[in-house]
Structure 1
Amino acid sequence: MTQNWYAVYTKPRWEKKVAQTLTQHGIQSYCPINRVVRQWSDRKKIIHAPLFTSYVFVRITEKQIADAKKAEGVINLVYWLGKPAIIRDEEIEIIRQFLAEYENVQLEKAQFRVNDKVKMTSGLLSDKEGTVVAVKNNTVKVALPSLHYIMFAEVEKSEVTKVSSIQA
């Protein structure tokens, strides 16, 4: 049975403890640690803080999902469209390499802007590309050119992924 990476949602500030507990139970886990330089009035100190707050990655088979969810401090797995979200090996490797190379790494959620090129990730329009024409709350209005017409689809932000951004 193949192993995949999954994201586990943890209690607040339990990331390191959960990773250690999972490892003790024979489950491969990865808690990306960010080296952050903190400035106090009298000194500087390097702090090792989890990059993703309340998340730990686990490499398990589908049969091991229940075991991972039982670990102390684990709230649940992260789900996407009703199934546990699988994280690609390449993405985990990129995180590892990035943290090995850089300090003070900061995360920012991808924001959609008008004229961004996007790809639909679910539904009937899955894998179709389009252009963002409007952004409102949790929805994005996407133009999908076909048959010499422009179709507009108002979709949840979670149903599209950015292909490229406009150049400012």
Structure 2
Amino acid sequence: MESKINFRPSFAKKWLVIYVRPRWEKKVDKLLQEQGIESFCPVRNVESQWADRKKMVSFPLFAGYVFVKINEREEYRVRATMGVLNFIYYLGRPAVVRDNEIEKLKYIADSYHDAEVVSLDELSKGDKVRIKSGLFHDQEGRIIQIQGKHVLMSFDNLDCAVVTRVSVNNLMLTVNQQQQYV
């Protein structure tokens, strides 16, 4: 019995993930679309404040990554695009993302403009954090316990012991008087 190996490239388009240069996500997305390649770079909107004004700024939801819907013949064009570093691989082949997952991401990006991807690995018990918005806006405290995507925290500078449950997305890690968004 003979087994036939198919060496012809597949013409079926699939969503793949590419890794891009730091802070080049939106530029690579634009360059790919200018070439007629379907790409998707979900963004979140953040209000930034300078000394003289406030402005809405959009940041990529996934830092360093852009999604492309291509077939095998278009892989070279994507690789040759300025700012593209490589495809993300899984089991030796470019990682494929299901169409319904991309549709969910598009829905989230369109519906929740302030959505944010947060790594829980960056927070640990005892970390000093600042609340970004809400009832306790700009209050600093320490993490007592991490509960899924929420933390229990205590406030340092209040005259009484207040413990509250706060969403990880609403916290900013404070390190050596510099603020870093989590």
Give the 3 Å change call, closer, same or farther, for CA 4–110 of structure 1 in structure 2.
Answer: farther
SS of the residue 2:78 aligns to = helix
Cα deviation for residue 17 of structure 1 reads 1.2
- 1:68 corresponds in structure 2 to 78
Tell me the residue number matched to 2:157.
none
Instruction: Name the structure 2 match of 1:45.
Output: 55
**3-state SS of 2:66 partner:** strand
% identical equivalent positions: 41
Task: Name the Cα RMSD after superposition.
Answer: 1.7
What TM-score, normalized by structure 2, do the two folds share? 0.56
**Aligned residue number for residue 88 of structure 2:** 78
Q: Decide which of 85, 104, 107 is 1:97's aligned counterpart.
A: 107
2:6 match: none
**1:119 alignment counterpart:** none
Letter of the aligned partner of 1:96 in structure 2? K
Match of 1:30 among 40, 46, 51: 40
CA–CA distance in structure 2, aligned partners of residues 35 and 79 of structure 1: 29
Q: What are the Cα deviations for residues 98-121 of structure 1, in whole angstroms up to 9, with x where unaligned?
A: 11111321113478xxxxxxxxxx
Q: Give me the whole-angstrom Cα distance separating, in 2, the residues matched to 1:76 and 1:20.
A: 17
Paired residue secondary structure (1:75): strand
Is the CA contact 1:15–1:55 (under 8 Å) kept in the aligned structure 2? Answer: yes
Q: Report the CA distance between 1:41 and its aligned residue.
A: 5.2
SS in 1 for 2:29: helix
Give the match for residue 125 of structure 1. none
Q: Which residue of 2 is the match for residue 19 of structure 1? A: 29
1:143-158 to 2 correspondence within 5 Å? none
**How far has the Cα of 1:44 moved from its partner?**
3.3
* Contact kept in structure 1, 2:43 and 2:113, CA below 8 Å: no
Tell me the amino acid that sits aligned with residue 115 of structure 2.
Answer: V
Look up the SS of the partner of 1:17 in the other structure.
helix
- The two structures have a TM-score, normalised by structure 1, of 0.61
2:28 maps to a residue whose letter is V
Give me the whole-angstrom Cα distance separating, in 1, the residues matched to 2:85 and 2:42.
18
**1:114-125 to 2 correspondence within 5 Å?**
none
What is the letter of the counterpart of residue 80 of structure 1?
Answer: Y
Q: CA shift at 1:38, angstroms? A: 2.5
- Number of aligned positions between the proteins: 111
